[in-house]
């Protein structure tokens, strides 16, 4: 018997086969699947700092960042300590407590556009609730989304006919969602003019993170805000991914815009499951029990999550964190740019703050149509080459990777070395 046949399969492979019998697709979120790149998802055992460790003992420099939350790396000690202290007092009360007040105060004092905030349990819940609130406040039904933007898995945002969509969404719901191209003010202007008496809100990712990392064109978000004001439509900024990541005040601070409502998740919780939405007082006071727009949640604002959020915001208040994030991200991109130029590879790079993407196309991605030019097969080969070298990326050609302040210069240099070798193997 050969060594390869005698060797037992890795535990990750065996566990993957077991879990597929119990959990559809073997994952509790499709993003975690390796369907788009081939192979089988890896079972992780623990994370610490910039590293993940799988159940077979392999170590990876991680650029998934738990899909965004791990802005300070995995298991930052002050957050873990705060959560453990809180847990000892009980994880859930089903009643108001001071930690809710404390985290709400921090958010309101940090984000200029927010007078009041409501906590939920995920980014999806935050978006779903903000859309209901916008409809209740305006008395209108239509929602405008943008092709290729991702806003979680509620019916209203999966009703788009392009980009992220799903079967099982009622036709009546789908009729209340209309889409426009990203980075195209003229198309949006025409759409708002046509439906201005019907549209409750426009919702947008200020930096699209699921069709590559696609930044707004210069002046685009400001123009979008002006159009919403012109037609009396609410602007909802989905900062679930960008909030507290691309800058301390998020994308709205980075680009200088003022939305009516903002949605948060991911980095806000310090690794705890969290969502939040907030905005102008006159809008937020339409929420029950102050108003008639109903939204509730047993676990919303639970003490453990609130303590994680407080701890992470305390740490992110230090401007040095964002200087480190920018420095490490810039170091990574300089190294990769040199490699791409030397190889003449048909690859482009995109980054906003510590969100980044390696696009396997020479075309600069500005919208969903452009993103369809990305060579998914070449990315899949690249993904597995760097994975074998101990670099863990999102297993999809179009989703944002995330860097953390825990990544050292040595981590970055090793990553550039492994990615350079992978690109050379593909394009030499």
How do residues 367-376 score in pLDDT, each as one tens digit? 999 999 999 9
User: What pLDDT is recorded for position 5?
Assistant: 37
Q: Which residues of the chain have pLDDT under 50?
A: 1-6
Asked whether 151 and 203 are in contact (CB, 8 A), the reply is yes
Catalytic residue among 238, 370, 399, 411: 238
- Extract the tokens encoding 116: 């009041």
pLDDT at 171: 82
115 is catalytic: no
**pLDDT the model gives residue 186:** 98
Active site (annotated) includes residue 392: no
Contact 394, 31 (CB under 8 A): yes
The owner of tokens 């604002």 is 301
Answer yes or no: are the C-beta atoms of 144 and 131 closer than 8 Å. no
CA torsion, ordered 158, 161, 164, 165, to nearest 10 deg: 50
Phi, psi of 120 (to 5 degrees): -135, -160
Q: How many helices (H) and strands (E) does the chain have?
A: 16, 14
Of the candidates 60, 62, 63, 150, the residue annotated as catalytic is 150
- The predicted pLDDT at position 163 comes to 61
Strand duo 44-48 + 275-279: pairing: unpaired
Measured between alpha carbons, how far is 72 from 49 in angstroms, rounded to an integer?
A: 7
pLDDT given for residue 175 in this prediction: 87
Instruction: Assess contact for 163 and 211: CB atoms under 8 A.
Output: yes
116 three-class SS: strand
293 in helix, strand or coil? strand
Reply yes or no: is the peptide bond before residue 248 cis, omega within 30 of 0: no
Q: Is 231 a catalytic residue?
A: no
Preceding peptide of 289 cis, ω within 30°: yes
Specify the CATH class of 77-316 in words: alpha beta
Numbered ranges of CATH 3.40.640.10 in the chain: 77-316
The token pair at 313 is 């915001």
Q: Are 67 and 122 in contact (CB under 8 A)?
A: no
Give the whole-angstrom CA distance, residue 211 versus residue 123: 18
The per-residue pLDDT for 162 is 59
Q: List where CATH 3.90.1150.10 sits in the chain.
A: 3-63+319-427
Percentages (nearest 5) of helix, strand, coil residues in the chain: 45, 15, 40
Which pLDDT score, from 0 to 100, does residue 172 have? 79
pLDDT tens-digit profile of 158-215?
776 556 667 888 887 888 999 999 999 999 999 999 998 999 999 999 999 999 999 9
Q: Does domain 3-63+319-427 have CATH number 3.90.1150.10?
A: yes
Considering the candidates 60, 220, 260, 266, report the single residue annotated as catalytic: 266
């Amino acid at each position: 018997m050969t060594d390869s046949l005698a060797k037992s399969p890795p535990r990750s492979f065996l566990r993957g086969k077991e879990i597929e019998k119990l959990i559809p697709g073997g994952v509790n979120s499709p993003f975690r699947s390796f369907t788009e790149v081939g192979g089988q998802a890896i079972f992780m055992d623990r994370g610490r700092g910039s590293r993940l460790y799988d159940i077979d003992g392999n170590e990876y420099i991680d650029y998934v960042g738990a899909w965004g939350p791990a802005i300070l790396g995995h298991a930052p000690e002050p957050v873990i300590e705060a959560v453990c202290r809180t847990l000892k007092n009980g994880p859930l009360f089903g009643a108001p407590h001071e930690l809710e007040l404390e985290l709400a105060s921090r958010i309101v004092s940090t984000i200029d556009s927010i007078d009041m905030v409501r906590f939920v349990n995920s980014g999806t819940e935050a978006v779903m609730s903000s859309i209901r609130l916008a409809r209740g406040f305006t008395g209108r039904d239509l929602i405008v989304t943008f092709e290729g933007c991702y806003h979680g898995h509620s019916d209203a945002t999966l009703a788009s006919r392009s980009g992220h969509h799903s079967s099982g969404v009622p036709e009546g719901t789908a009729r209340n969602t209309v889409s426009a191209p990203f980075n195209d003010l003229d198309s949006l202007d025409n759409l708002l003019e046509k439906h201005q008496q019907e549209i409750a809100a426009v919702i947008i990712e200020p930096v699209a993170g699921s069709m590559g990392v696609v930044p707004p064109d210069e002046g685009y978000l400001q123009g979008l805000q002006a159009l919403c004001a012109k037609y009396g439509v609410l602007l909802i900024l989905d900062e679930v991914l960008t909030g507290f990541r691309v800058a301390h005040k998020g994308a709205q601070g980075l680009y200088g815009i003022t939305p009516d409502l903002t949605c948060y998740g991911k980095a806000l919780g310090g690794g705890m499951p969290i969502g939040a939405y907030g905005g102008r007082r006159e809008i937020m006071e339409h929420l029950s029990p102050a108003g008639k727009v109903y939204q509730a949640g047993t676990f919303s604002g639970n003490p453990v999550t609130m303590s994680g959020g407080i701890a992470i915001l305390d740490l992110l208040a230090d401007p040095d964190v964002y200087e480190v994030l920018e420095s490490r991200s810039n170091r990574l991109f300089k190294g990769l740019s040199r490699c791409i130029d030397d190889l003449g590879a048909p690859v482009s790079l995109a980054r906003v703050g510590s969100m980044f993407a390696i696009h396997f196309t020479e075309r600069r991605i500005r919208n969903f149509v452009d993103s369809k030019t990305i060579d998914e097969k070449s990315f899949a080969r690249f993904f597995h080459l760097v994975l074998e070298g101990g670099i863990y990326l999102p297993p999809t050609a179009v989703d944002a990777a995330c860097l953390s302040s825990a990544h050292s210069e040595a981590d970055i240099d090793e990553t550039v070395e492994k990615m350079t070798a992978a690109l050379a193997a593909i394009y030499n």
